[in-house]
A = this chain, B = another copy of it.
């Protein structure tokens, strides 16, 4: 089983409106709801790829109940969320039907009490024993210590379970120092971590800081990977137009499934780039188009990078 951790789960709500105009009143023509938060999105894609997945993290309040009810209906994702007194946050994506653009409103997460954080750590310790890999994804809700991911990485490493970290800011900085197997920053997160805006240099620097492998997502330019086995660039066949929401989470699912299947790095990267582009192309945010995925897999180009050091 693959374990994904989402400490700040969300009820993701999508609204369609004709045109979003600030300070006007809008009739929403269509309302969509699904369980969200990065690790939940990763789990959904892993399940679609045929993997057994368990999600953990926190859920509470009426919104948390909806998240859990929707997860129960989703095939192949096992719910191991830890209940909290606070209410799971909502995120609202307002899709403007005229331009196709999305305006995002994200509620802050509920505060986590020390007792809840400690209950989570116990649950994680139980779950990690049965996991073939673990992904730690997204921001930390208030009340969770900034070194949380570093601690969870150490627990996974002690259990011999490979761990991927996808977060930003100080939790990323501290997490990298705890020596995760993979980190997947985007260009901004990588620059914030390393101080360098030059991706090749920055991925190497992030490895020196402790990450065994670094896979930077460069948006339409694909992925740049620095690993102990070599360095590669994986690029989609051309620009893809659509909704980039969840594209990074699909890339994480691609990397993680490739890891547990012991695929060579170029194959993992191909899978990650194809899933990511197929997510941008899918009509629903955060879903991927399986036909586009199959097609794109054959068209991703992989280039080995020659050492600059």
Contact status B66-A26, CB under 8 Å: no
Taken together, the copies of this chain in the complex come to 2
Question: For the complex, what is the distance from the CA of A180 to the CA of B63, rounded to whole Å?
Answer: 40
Q: A residues engaging B (CB < 8 A)?
A: 15, 17, 20-29, 31, 62-63, 65-66, 92, 94, 96, 99, 101-108
Contact status A23-B99, CB under 8 Å: yes
Least CB distance from A169 to B in Å reads 14
Question: For the complex, what is the distance from the CA of A102 to the CA of B29, rounded to whole Å?
Answer: 20
Given contacts A62-B62, A107-B28, contact A102 B20 (CB under 8 A): no
Interface centre among A25, A102, A103, A105 (most CB of B within 10 A): A105
Chain B residues with Cβ below 8 Å from A15 are 105, 107
Contact status A20-B22, CB under 8 Å: yes
Least CB distance from A21 to B in Å reads 8
Question: For the complex, what is the distance from the CA of A65 to the CA of B87, rounded to whole Å?
Answer: 14
Contact status A102-B26, CB under 8 Å: no
Chain B residues with Cβ below 8 Å from A24 are 103-104
Question: For the complex, what is the distance from the CA of A27 to the CA of B25, rounded to whole Å?
Answer: 21
- Other-chain residue from B26, B65, B101, B105 in contact with A62 (beta carbon distance below 8 A): B65
Contact status A26-B96, CB under 8 Å: no
Contact status B28-A104, CB under 8 Å: no
27 residue pairs of the A-B complex, CB under 8 angstroms, read: A15-B105, A15-B107, A17-B105, A20-B22, A20-B103, A21-B22, A21-B103, A22-B22, A22-B101, A23-B102, A23-B103, A25-B106, A26-B103, A26-B104, A26-B105, A26-B106, A27-B106, A28-B105, A29-B108, A31-B107, A31-B108, A62-B62, A62-B63, A62-B65, A62-B66, A92-B92, A92-B105
Contact status B23-A101, CB under 8 Å: yes
